[in-house]
């Protein structure tokens, strides 16, 4: 049992470490408005890492569902997408709080903010589609195809278009910074918290998803897969 649960224990340990050291680690104080708000880096950015991992796993199972037609693959795709949305919303919330301190408003219509919101809405439509189709086989196929479309839309909405327009985020036109997060830009003491945070939050997302999958399988009496 311990061998199967080691990654859950690791997730708990890493998140405890993140929550403690995230507030205690010494932060380099630079000129500007960042100051201590930079600590949100240990919470906001890992949410997006976790979201992308969950959506990636979801689309992989969606493709498997199209190829195999197995209902179990559809369940996996659905629950990973559901958890991805949860962490995407958490990313928006933590980002909005950070934006309030940095830019003076919770929502500044920044291209990356808007793009992230659009991406989440596209995935929410995935569940609207699922709820509108009664036939199980048809629902599985349509959901899988839409899942692939939703995943493909992540790249223009979150990664490409925001970098082609003026953005308050680092990496956009008219802003400073690299076009993507570069761990080498962080102070060494911050890297010692940031990367464990990314791993910890991602493992938590997978943990929550596996619990939801097992619950769903038990509800549908698919005990051989639970």
pLDDT category, 192, cuts 50, 70, 90? very high
pLDDT category, 195, cuts 50, 70, 90? very high
Of 65-69, 101-105, 143-147, which gets the smallest average pLDDT? Answer: 101-105
Which residues, in sequence order, are CB contacts of 116 under 8 Å at separation 6+? Answer: 48, 88, 91, 92, 95, 157, 158
> Residue 180 has what pLDDT?
45
pLDDT: is 168 or 11 the higher one? Answer: 11
Average pLDDT for 89-95:
95
Report the chain's mean pLDDT, rounded to a whole number.
Answer: 86
- pLDDT at residue 73 greater than cutoff 50: yes
Instruction: Dig out the tokens for 167 from the structure.
Output: 């953005």
pLDDT tens digits, one per residue of 18-63: 999 999 998 876 655 567 888 989 999 999 999 999 999 999 999 9
pLDDT: is 191 or 56 the higher one? Answer: 56
CB atoms within 10 A of CB 184: 7
Helix (H) or strand (E) holding 198: helix 188-219
> Residue 116 has what pLDDT?
93
pLDDT: is 173 or 143 the higher one? Answer: 143
Average pLDDT for 136-165:
91
pLDDT tens digits, one per residue of 171-190: 555 444 444 455 556 788 88
Instruction: Dig out the tokens for 113 from the structure.
Output: 């903010």
Q: What percent of the chain has pLDDT over 90?
A: 60
Q: Can you list the pairs that 216-221 forms with residues at least 24 positions away whose Cβ atoms lie under 8 Å?
A: 216/75, 216/79, 217/72, 217/75
Of 99-108, 142-151, 195-204, which gets the smallest average pLDDT? Answer: 99-108
């Amino acid at each position: 049992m311990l061998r199967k649960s080691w990654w859950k224990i690791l997730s708990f340990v890493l998140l405890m470490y993140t929550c403690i050291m995230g507030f205690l680690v010494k932060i380099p104080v630079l000129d500007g408005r960042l100051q201590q708000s930079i600590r949100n880096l240990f919470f906001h950015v890992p949410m997006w890492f976790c979201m992308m991992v969950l959506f990636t796993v979801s689309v992989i199972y969606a493709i498997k569902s199209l190829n195999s037609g197995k209902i179990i693959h559809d369940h996996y795709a659905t629950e990973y997408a559901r958890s991805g949305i949860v962490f995407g919303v958490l990313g928006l919330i933590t980002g909005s709080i950070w934006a309030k301190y940095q830019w003076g408003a919770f929502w500044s219509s920044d291209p990356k903010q808007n793009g992230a919101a659009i991406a989440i809405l596209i995935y929410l439509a995935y569940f609207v589609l699922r709820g509108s189709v009664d036939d199980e086989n048809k629902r599985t196929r349509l959901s899988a195809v839409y899942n692939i479309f939703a995943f493909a839309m992540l790249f223009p909405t979150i990664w490409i278009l925001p970098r082609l327009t003026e953005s308050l985020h680092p990496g956009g036109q008219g802003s400073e910074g690299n076009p993507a997060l570069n761990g080498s830009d962080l102070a060494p003491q911050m890297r010692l918290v940031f990367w464990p945070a990314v791993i910890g939050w991602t493992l938590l997302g997978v943990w929550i998803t596996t619990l939801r999958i097992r619950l769903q399988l038990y509800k549908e009496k698919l005990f051989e897969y639970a």
